[in-house]
């Protein structure tokens, strides 16, 4: 990727340093913070306990929570499709589809049943976005799942478009049990490690908690504004 351009930095930052009463700093050691309460949240919780926390919190965030195993997963997904009156779906190109038996077990079958199934394909460029706009449901795996806040963390890529979880009216996250961590702290620690190791992080990392909502009209909570109006998390026992 060609590097971008920076304008006016020196004069701007010189002003900042001058106002702070010193020369510009070229290296700063981040201090050890005197307190780190974030690590105490759900400390030592087992995966099962994290599942319970997630399940309970889904009620608060207007998200349907379903628990299943890999064998029953395709069936459970179909049930949600029925519930959401789904005629067309959009999903990522994801090797986990095969791993969780969703390729032959679901997606291929749905295509045969004449349901509109669009699997994100970078070669198709804008057509992917059009498909996402038309789809009744977007369905993705969760890359990391935050139990405390009921959040699925999605890392974008050429095969994992941002629009899948954003444009359709409904959204399904398949949550492998092994992706559960206590809270945002563990996810940001992971990203921080990637950065420190010089790895390139996704251009979009989405922390998604349930469906979209707003309280802008008379402080009444309206579920479903610009993003999906309904959301379901399907927790799958894996590994």
Partner 1 sequence: MAMKISDEKFFERVDKGVNNTFMRNAVVSAQERMQGKRLAAAEELGNWEEWRKLGEEIRTHTLQNLDYYLEQLSENVKKRGGHVFFASTKEEANEYITKVAKEKQAKKVVKSKSMVTEEIHLNSALEKAGCEVIETDLGEYILQLDDHDPPSHIVVPALHKNKEQIRDTFKEKRGYDKSEIPEELALFAREQLRQEFLSADLGITGCNFAVAESGSISLVTNEGNAGLVTALPKTQITVMGMERIVPTWEELDILVSLLCRSSVGQKLTSYITGLTGPKDEDDVDGPEEFHLVIVDNGRSNILGTEFQSALHCIRCAACVNVCPVYRHIGGHSYGSIYAGPIGAVLTPLLGGYEDYKELPYASSLCAACTDACPVKIPLHELLIKHRRKIVEDEKKSPFGEKLAMKGYQLAASSPSIYKAGTKSASSVMAPFTQSNSIQKGPGPMKPWTDVRDFPAPNKERFRDWYKKREKGGE
Query: Is residue 197 near partner 1 by the rule CB under 8 A?
Result: no
Q: Which residues pair with 175 in a beta bridge?
A: 235
Query: Is residue 202 near partner 1 by the rule CB under 8 A?
Result: yes
Q: Which is nearer to partner 1, 36 or 239 (CB)?
A: 36
Query: Is residue 212 near partner 1 by the rule CB under 8 A?
Result: yes
- Number of residues this chain uses to bind partner 1 (CB under 8 A): 93
Among 211, 232, 233, 234, binds partner 1 (CB under 8 A): 211
Token couple for 140: 């993705």
Q: Which residues pair with 181 in a beta bridge?
A: 146
Query: Is residue 56 near partner 1 by the rule CB under 8 A?
Result: no
Q: Residue-wise over 184-220: b if at least 16 C-beta within 10 A, else e? A: bbbbeebbeeeeeeeeeeeeeebebbbbbbeeeeeee
| Residues in 36-55 that interact with partner 1 by CB under 8 A | 36-38, 40-41
**164 to each of 36, 61, 154, 172, 216, how far by Cα in Å?**
35, 20, 11, 10, 26
The least distance separating partner 1 from the CB of residue 239, rounded to whole angstroms, comes to 26
Q: Which is nearer to partner 1, 32 or 113 (CB)?
A: 32
173, containing H or E segment: strand 170-176
Query: Is residue 27 near partner 1 by the rule CB under 8 A?
Result: yes
Query: Is residue 11 near partner 1 by the rule CB under 8 A?
Result: yes
């Amino acid at each position: 990727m060609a590097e971008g351009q920076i304008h006016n930095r020196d004069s701007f930052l010189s002003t900042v340093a001058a106002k702070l009463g010193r020369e510009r700093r070229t290296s700063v050691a981040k201090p050890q913070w005197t307190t780190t309460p974030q690590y105490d949240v759900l400390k030592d919780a087992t995966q099962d306990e994290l599942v319970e926390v997630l399940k309970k919190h889904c009620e608060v965030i207007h998200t349907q929570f379903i628990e299943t195993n890999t064998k029953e997963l395709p069936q459970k997904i179909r049930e949600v499709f029925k519930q959401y009156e789904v005629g067309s779906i959009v999903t990522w190109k994801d090797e986990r589809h095969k791993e969780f038996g969703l390729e032959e077990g679901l997606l291929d079958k749905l295509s045969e049943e004449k349901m509109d199934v669009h699997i994100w394909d970078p070669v198709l460029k804008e057509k992917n976005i059009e498909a996402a706009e038309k789809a009744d449901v977007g369905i993705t795996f969760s890359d990391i799942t935050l139990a405390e806040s009921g959040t699925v963390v999605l890392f974008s890529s050429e095969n994992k478009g941002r629009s899948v979880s954003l444009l359709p009216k409904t959204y399904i996250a398949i949550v492998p049990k092994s992706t559960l961590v206590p809270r945002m702290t563990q996810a940001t620690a992971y990203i921080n490690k990637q950065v420190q190791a010089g790895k390139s992080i996704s251009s979009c990392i989405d922390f998604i908690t349930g469906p979209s909502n707003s309280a802008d009209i008379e402080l009444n909570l309206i579920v479903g504004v610009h993003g999906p109006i309904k959301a379901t998390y399907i927790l799958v026992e894996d590994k």
